[in-house]
Structure 1
Amino acid sequence: MTTDVVELILADHRRMEELFRTLRDRGADRAKALDELAYLLVAHAEAEEAKVYPALRRYKQVDDDEIDHGAEEHTEGNMALLALMEVEDTESDEWEGKLEELVTAINHHLDEEERTILNDARETVSDERRAELGEQFAAERERRVDAGCGTVEYVRELVERTKDRVD
C-alpha cells in the first residue's frame, strides 16, 4: 500500500464517490453508508487541514489561495453533511434533496482539489516528502476517526466552529 499523500487522498475521494452511489440506492442501508461517509469525510478534511495543507503552503508552485479555498469548501461540505444527518427519514424527499446538495458540494471540491492542489503537489513535492506527508495524513485521519469525528454532535460543533470561513 502506498504512503504517497496524493494517492491516499485520491483513494479517499474514490471511496466517497462509491458511498454517494450507495446513498442514492433506495435499497441500500443508507444510514450505515452515511455513517461511514461522515467519519471518512470529516477525518479526511481535518487531516488535510492539520497535516497536508500547512506543509503544501511552503511550496511556491502550490497556490495558497487554492489551499484557503479548499478549507472553505471543507466547511461547505460539513454544513451539507450536517443538514443530511439531521434528516431522520432516509426515504423522504427532504433526505433526497439534502443528499444531492451534499454530493454536489463534495464533488465540486474533489474536482477542484484534484485539478489544483493535488496536481501541483504531484509536480513540485518530492516523492520522499509526499510519503512523509502521507504517513502523517493517514495517522491524523485515523486519530480523528478514533476520536468520534463522524457523530452528528461533532459535525454540528465543527460547523459552528468553522462557519465563519464561508462567505
Structure 2
Amino acid sequence: MADDVITLLTTDHRELQRLFEMMTSDKSARPLALPLAVAMLEAHSEAEEQGVYPALAREAGEEAEAKHATEEHHEAEHMGKHLLEMDWESEEFDQALQQWIDAVQHHVEEEENELLPALREALDAARLEELGLEFARLRSQRLAGQPLKAAGGGAGTDGGKRKQTPDTSDTPDDDAGETRAELYDKARELGVEGRSTMNKDELAREVHKAEGGKG
C-alpha cells in the first residue's frame, strides 16, 4: 500500500540513488543536487530515528541493529554537511563525494536486506501503515524547516563557503549565529529529547539550558 513504511523508505532510497547518479555523471548538477540530497537524507534519517527505529527495536527485537543504523546516519549526515562547504569542482570533492555515496549505499543495503525484512515479519499491515504515516509526517516537518542552499565552489558562488542567511528570531545570544542544523547537532550531543520536532528557536533555548545557561 502507498503508506506502508517500507514502501516509503525504499522510495526515498531510490530517489537518493538518482541524485547520486546525477552528481557523479554531471558535475554541473552538483550545486543543486547536493543540497537536496543532504536535506533529504537528514529528514529521512531523523524520521527513521524518531518513528521507525524505536519500533524496530521494541517490536522487532532489533535494538542493536537500530543503534548501529543510527550511528551510520550520524556519520553520513556529518559527511554530507562537510561536502556542502567544499569546492564542488575540486578533486578533493570528487573523493569525498564518493566516500559519502559509498557510506550511504552501504547503509541502504543493510537496511533493505536486514532491517526492513525484520520489520515486515514482525509487524502487521496496519502497523506498517501507521509507521508510514508517522514517518511521512516527521520527514515533511523536517524538510519544511530546512531551506536549501546551493553547494559552494561553482560559478556565482563564494568559492566553497556558504553564506548563512541571518536569522532575526529571538534566541540566546551565544546561539544566535548558528543554523538549525548546528543547533540540532549540539542538542544531539547534549541528549536533548524531542529535538527533531523543534524549530531553531526551541533548539537554541534547550541547548542553552542543557549547557547550564539561564533560559
Q: Normalising TM by the smaller chain, what interval?
A: 0.7 to 0.9
2:72 equivalent in structure 1: 73
| Structure 1 counterpart of 2:34, one-letter code | L
> Which runs of no fewer than 5 residues in structure 2 stay unpaired?
150-161, 163-178, 191-215
Spell out, residue by residue over 1:13-45, the C-alpha distance to the aligned partner (whole angstroms, 9 max, x if none): 111111100111235421110121011100000
RMSD between aligned alpha carbons? 2.2
Instruction: Between the two structures, name the one with larger relative contact order (CA 8 Å, sep ≥ 6).
Output: 1
**Structure 2 partner of 1:23:** 23
What displacement does 1:162 show? 4.5
What is the rounded CA distance, in whole Å, between the counterparts of 1:46 and 1:149 in structure 2?
16
Cα shift readout 1:80-139 (whole Å, capped 9, x = no counterpart)? 10121110x211111111101110110111111111211101111101000000000001
Larger fraction in helix: 1
What TM-score do the two structures reach when normalised by structure 1? 0.88
Structure-2 residue corresponding to 1:116:
114
Contact 1:75 1:159 in 2 (8 A): no
Task: Quote the offset at 1:150 in angstroms.
Answer: 6.0
| Paired residue secondary structure (2:137) | helix
Which position in structure 1 is the counterpart of 2:132?
134
Contact 1:19 1:37 in 2 (8 A): yes
Percent of aligned pairs with the same amino acid: 34
2:81 maps to 1:90? no
Contact between 1:48 and 1:137, CA under 8 Å: does it hold in 2? Answer: yes
Distance verdict in 2 for CA 1:72–1:25, change over 3 Å: same
Shift of 1:159: 4.4
Q: Which residue of 1 aligns with 2:58?
A: 58
1:100 partnered with 2:98 = yes
CA distance in 1 between partners of 2:12 and 2:78 (Å): 19
Match of 2:156 in 1: none
Distance 1:65 1:125 in 2: 18
CA distance in structure 2 between the aligned counterparts of 1:154 and 1:96, rounded to whole angstroms: 27
Residue type at the aligned position of 1:35: P
Matched residue count: 163
Unaligned ranges ≥5, structure 1: none
- What is the aligned partner in structure 1 of residue 146 from structure 2? 148
SS in 2 for 1:57: helix
